[in-house]
Amino acid sequence: MSLSRRTLAVVGLLACLAPVAHAGESPRALVEKMAQQAVDILGNRSLSSDEKRHRIEDLAYANIDFDTMSRLVLARNWSRLSPAQQEEFVKLFREHLALTYGRNIESYNNEKVEVVGERDEGRGDWSVKTKILRGGGSADVLVDYRLRQENDAWRIIDVVIERVSLVANFRSQFQEIMSDGGPTKLLEVLREKNAKGEPLKSDGS
Amino acid sequence: MRPRRFVPLLAVVLALSGAMVARTDEGAGSERDPLEGFNRKMFWFNDKVDVYVLAPVASGWEKVSPRCVRTSVSHFFGNLRFPIVAVNDLLQGKVKASGSDVGRFAVNTTVGVLGFFDPASHWGLIEHREDFGQTLGVWGVPPGPYLVLPLLGPSDPRDAAGFAVDYALAVTPFFIEEYILVGARVVDTVNERSFVLKQVEDAKASAFDYYTFVRNAYLQRRHALVRDLADTTEENQQLYYPEFDREEKP
């Protein structure tokens, strides 16, 4: 019977798709899930600051495409870096973000996150708009995530906080360093900055 | 700080920047900052004022007052901004938003006890952020070069003009003496600063160049506020699809 053969085919196809069903989730679902996980980690009193920081980092690594983000941040300067330098830049930049945002782990005060909208940005990008609820009105913080799809999976390529894009902001800062001293200087500055940011444990609780 | 005192300042500013206006409208980096030398000095000065005066006072205020008190103070001053927001909404053709602002003011001034509480937000009358600088932008006036003003901080000729007009708007309906207004402004500034003590410290620690960081954030934010919506324009294309990115992937 052609029908049952087709059914079989469909079942077979579904079985093949099942392992990647997670990867195929919508950008909105991804952001919602990530926000929920972050809130769960931050609000979990049985975790130490360090454990929280590690889990948040893992969460970020799973959802953020640091390779694309790094290329966007450097824009036309990207090609001035050798492949080895590019690799190091991605690593250092990711570390820098982890250090910067890791500082705020202890400031968490039961804020909730709400997805307030989404938008097709065209050319395969998608924006998910969220709000960190801190008492309403101007106290709330608007955070938009821009996601790009690659191999069927959506990953975050920019975070726009109160209309200030992280990618654009770092681009302007790195541009100045690049025009002053080129790739070597850029990596040197990043290394130095990260080394200075290291003693985080004295911070917070 | 009567509006008329801004006139000489503005005249200087506009004279300085007039020639550059046409070349410095787009972007959010050094191409918008032909006065960088002057701006960096002024930025440094403002930062010293912040570090030695404003931040310590705000930090003291934060220690002695619970968060709910500071939030109420913030609501109170926010409520007084109502003429600015309502008029500018109207000037930008946002009639419905303007009506909502009037409703907000009525609700928060009465039910919200002189504006110290914000019941209006819970009733769907959300706060809008409008000022005359944005209105000028909506009308098509170019922003001109980035400009750091003494004490007032990041700005540009368009926003400086907007600030002067808003100041007049805020003052006129209330018939208040100038010294009270200056005092109120000081309290408002200290109070608002107390909410971002840690954020500013973190930003300074993590920025590679704090001046560039602030300049870019200011220019991006003002640009977005004028447009109101995120945009798919040329700049956005440049940001998210730089040419190299279309070819290879590592």
**Alpha-carbon gap, residue B238 to B157, rounded angstroms:** 26
Reported as a single tens digit per residue, the pLDDT across A21-66 is 445 689 999 999 999 999 999 998 898 888 998 999 999 999 999 9
Q: A13 vs chain B: nearest CA distance in angstroms?
A: 29
**For residue B141, which of B150, B149, B132 has the smallest C-alpha distance?**
B132
Task: Kindly indicate the confidence band of residue A6, based on its pLDDT and cuts at 50, 70 and 90.
Answer: low
pLDDT in the model for residue A121: 85
Q: Which residues contact B227 (CB under 8 A, 6 or more apart)?
A: none
Strand-pair partners of A133: A112
Of A31 and B242, the one with more pLDDT: A31
Q: What is the mean pLDDT of residues B221-225?
A: 89
Quick check: A136 and B118 CB within 8 A? yes
pLDDT in the model for residue A10: 57
Looking at every residue in chain B, the average pLDDT score rounds to 83
Neighbours of B238 (CB within 10 A): 15
Reported as a single tens digit per residue, the pLDDT across A92-128 is 999 999 888 877 787 788 889 999 999 888 888 999 9
Query: For the residues of B32-55, what is the DSSP string, one character each?
Result: G-TTHHHHHHHHHHHHHHIIIIIH
B140: left (phi over 0), alpha (psi -120 to 50) or beta: left
Q: B163 vs chain A: nearest CA distance in angstroms?
A: 19
H-type helices in A132-202, by residue range?
166-197
pLDDT in the model for residue B121: 84
Share of chain B above pLDDT 90, in %: 42
Which residues does chain A have within 8 Å of residue B80's beta carbon, measured at their own beta carbons? none
Reported as a single tens digit per residue, the pLDDT across B126-175 is 888 899 999 999 998 999 999 999 999 999 999 999 999 988 887 666 67
Strand-pair partners of A153: A150
Share of chain A above pLDDT 70, in %: 83
Q: What is the mean pLDDT of residues B84-107?
A: 91
pLDDT > 90? residue B52: yes
Identify whether the C-beta of residue B120 lies closer than 8 Å to the C-beta of residue B128: no
Neighbours of A166 (CB within 10 A): 18
Which residues does chain B have within 8 Å of residue A91's beta carbon, measured at their own beta carbons? none
**Strand bridging mode A153-161 / A164-165:** antiparallel
Length of chain A: 205
Quick check: A193 and B239 CB within 8 A? no
Angle between helices B210-227 and A166-197 (to 10 degrees): 150
- Which of A125-133's residues contact partners 24+ apart within 8 Å by CB, and which partners? A125/A157, A125/B240, A126/A27, A126/A154, A127/B230, A128/A27, A128/A28, A128/A30, A128/A31, A130/A31, A130/A35
**Alpha-carbon gap, residue A86 to A80, rounded angstroms:** 9
**Strand bridging mode A125-133 / A164-165:** unpaired
**Alpha-carbon gap, residue B207 to A192, rounded angstroms:** 12
Tell me B27's DSSP state: -
H/E run at residue A131: strand A125-133
Identify whether the C-beta of residue A157 lies closer than 8 Å to the C-beta of residue A65: yes
Of residues B121, B212, B238, nearest to A172 (C-beta):
B212
